[in-house]
Structure 1
Amino acid sequence: MSRSPILTRHSEGGAVPGPGEFHSSETPWHFGDPLSEQRAAATGVIVVDRSDRSVIEIPGTERLSWLHTISSQHVAALPDRRGAEDLSLDANGRVEEHFVLTDIDGVTWIDTEGARGEALLGFLTRMVFWAKAEPAARPDMKVITLIGPGAVSGPVAELLEIDADAEIYQAGSLPETHHEDEPLGFWRRMPPIGEHRDLPVVDLVIPEYVLLRWWDALVEAGARMAGSWAHDALRVAARRPRLGADTDERTIPHEVDWIGGPAEQGAVHLDKGCYRGQETVARVHNLGKSPRRLVLLHLDGSSDRRPAIGDPVTAGGRTVGRLGTVIDHYEWGPIALALVKRNVGADAELLIGSAEPDTHEPISARIDPDSIREDDHVQAGRAAVERLRSGPATPGA
Structure 2
Amino acid sequence: MTFVDNQVALRAGYGIAETGLEVLTVSGPDAPSWLTTLSSQIVADMGAGESREMLFLDAHGRVKFAAGIVWAGEVAWLFTSDASALAQFLESMKFMSRVEVTACLDQQVCGFFAPSLAEEVLAGFGPIWSDPWPGITSGGTAYSPRSAVHPGRDYSACLGVIPGEKTAKVRAELRNRWEQLSWPRETADGYSLSAPVFSAESDWRALRIAAWRPYGTDIDQRTLPHELDWLRTAVHLNKGCYCGQETVARIVNLGHPPRRAVFLHLDGTSSLLPPAGAELYAGSRKVGTVRASANHFEDGPIALGLVKRTAPTGELTVCWQEGEEEHSLAATVTVITDPAGVSWQGQSQIDRKSFSRTPPPADSGSLNIAG
TM-score relative to the length of structure 2: 0.78
- Equivalences for residues 280-319 of structure 1 within 5 A: 280-319=247-286
**Partners of 1:367 and 1:209 in 2: CA distance:** 43
Q: Which amino acid aligns with 2:331?
A: A
Question: Do structure 1's residue 227 and structure 2's residue 194 form an aligned pair?
Answer: no
**Partners of 1:381 and 1:146 in 2: CA distance:** 36
1:189 is matched with 130
1:250 is matched with 222
Per the TM alignment, residue 45 of structure 1 is displaced from its structure 2 partner at its CA by: 1.9
Question: Do structure 1's residue 368 and structure 2's residue 337 form an aligned pair?
Answer: no
Q: Which amino acid aligns with 2:231?
A: I
2:188 is matched with none
Against the structure 1 CA distance between its residues 104 and 361, is the aligned structure 2 distance closer, same or farther, given a 3 Å change threshold? closer
Per the TM alignment, residue 240 of structure 1 is displaced from its structure 2 partner at its CA by: 0.7
1:164 is matched with none
1:23 is matched with none
Question: Do structure 1's residue 45 and structure 2's residue 14 form an aligned pair?
Answer: yes
Question: Do structure 1's residue 349 and structure 2's residue 315 form an aligned pair?
Answer: yes
Per the TM alignment, residue 196 of structure 1 is displaced from its structure 2 partner at its CA by: 4.7
1:150 is matched with 115
1:337 is matched with 304
2:77 is matched with 109
2:244 is matched with 277
Per the TM alignment, residue 43 of structure 1 is displaced from its structure 2 partner at its CA by: 3.4
Q: Which amino acid aligns with 2:105?
A: P
Question: Do structure 1's residue 138 and structure 2's residue 104 form an aligned pair?
Answer: yes
**Partners of 1:197 and 1:204 in 2: CA distance:** 21
Paired residue secondary structure (1:186): coil
2:161 is matched with 205
**Partners of 1:258 and 1:185 in 2: CA distance:** 26
Q: 1:123 aligns with which of 89, 94, 101?
A: 89
**Partners of 1:225 and 1:82 in 2: CA distance:** 26
1:5 is matched with none
Per the TM alignment, residue 380 of structure 1 is displaced from its structure 2 partner at its CA by: 7.9
Contact kept, 8 Å, 2:126 with 2:160, in 1: the verdict is yes
**Partners of 1:374 and 1:340 in 2: CA distance:** 10
TM-score relative to the length of structure 1: 0.73
Q: Which amino acid aligns with 1:366?
A: T
Q: Which amino acid aligns with 2:64?
A: E
**Partners of 2:133 and 2:35 in 1: CA distance:** 26
Question: Do structure 1's residue 267 and structure 2's residue 234 form an aligned pair?
Answer: yes
**Partners of 1:81 and 1:70 in 2: CA distance:** 21
Contact kept, 8 Å, 1:156 with 1:221, in 2: the verdict is no
**Partners of 1:216 and 1:191 in 2: CA distance:** 29
**Partners of 2:298 and 2:348 in 1: CA distance:** 43
Cα deviation 1:261-318 (Å, max 9, x = unaligned): xxxxx11110101111111100000012211111110111112232221011010210
Against the structure 1 CA distance between its residues 373 and 380, is the aligned structure 2 distance closer, same or farther, given a 3 Å change threshold? closer
**Partners of 1:250 and 1:101 in 2: CA distance:** 24
Q: 2:211 aligns with which of 215, 219, 238?
A: 238
Question: Which stretches in structure 1 are left out of the alignment for 5+ residues?
Answer: 1-31, 161-172, 178-183, 261-265
1:93 is matched with 61
**Partners of 1:111 and 1:378 in 2: CA distance:** 28
Per the TM alignment, residue 62 of structure 1 is displaced from its structure 2 partner at its CA by: 1.2
**Partners of 1:378 and 1:103 in 2: CA distance:** 29
Computed over aligned residues only, the root mean square deviation of the Cα atoms, in angstroms, reads 3.0
1:29 is matched with none
Q: 1:68 aligns with which of 36, 61, 75?
A: 36
Cα deviation 1:135-163 (Å, max 9, x = unaligned): 1222233321213x432xxx555x44xxx
**Partners of 1:206 and 1:354 in 2: CA distance:** 36
Cα deviation 1:15-61 (Å, max 9, x = unaligned): xxxxxxxxxxxxxxxxx5222211223434221134x5332211111
Contact kept, 8 Å, 1:286 with 1:380, in 2: the verdict is no
Per the TM alignment, residue 195 of structure 1 is displaced from its structure 2 partner at its CA by: 5.0
Against the structure 1 CA distance between its residues 213 and 285, is the aligned structure 2 distance closer, same or farther, given a 3 Å change threshold? same
Contact kept, 8 Å, 1:297 with 1:367, in 2: the verdict is yes
Contact kept, 8 Å, 2:18 with 2:111, in 1: the verdict is yes
Per the TM alignment, residue 80 of structure 1 is displaced from its structure 2 partner at its CA by: 2.0
1:11 is matched with none
Moved more, 269-278 or 75-84: 75-84
Cα deviation 1:364-384 (Å, max 9, x = unaligned): 111125x45466668389859
Paired residue secondary structure (2:156): strand
**Partners of 1:36 and 1:81 in 2: CA distance:** 31
**Partners of 2:13 and 2:161 in 1: CA distance:** 21
**Partners of 1:150 and 1:123 in 2: CA distance:** 36
Contact kept, 8 Å, 1:313 with 1:322, in 2: the verdict is yes
Against the structure 1 CA distance between its residues 214 and 70, is the aligned structure 2 distance closer, same or farther, given a 3 Å change threshold? same
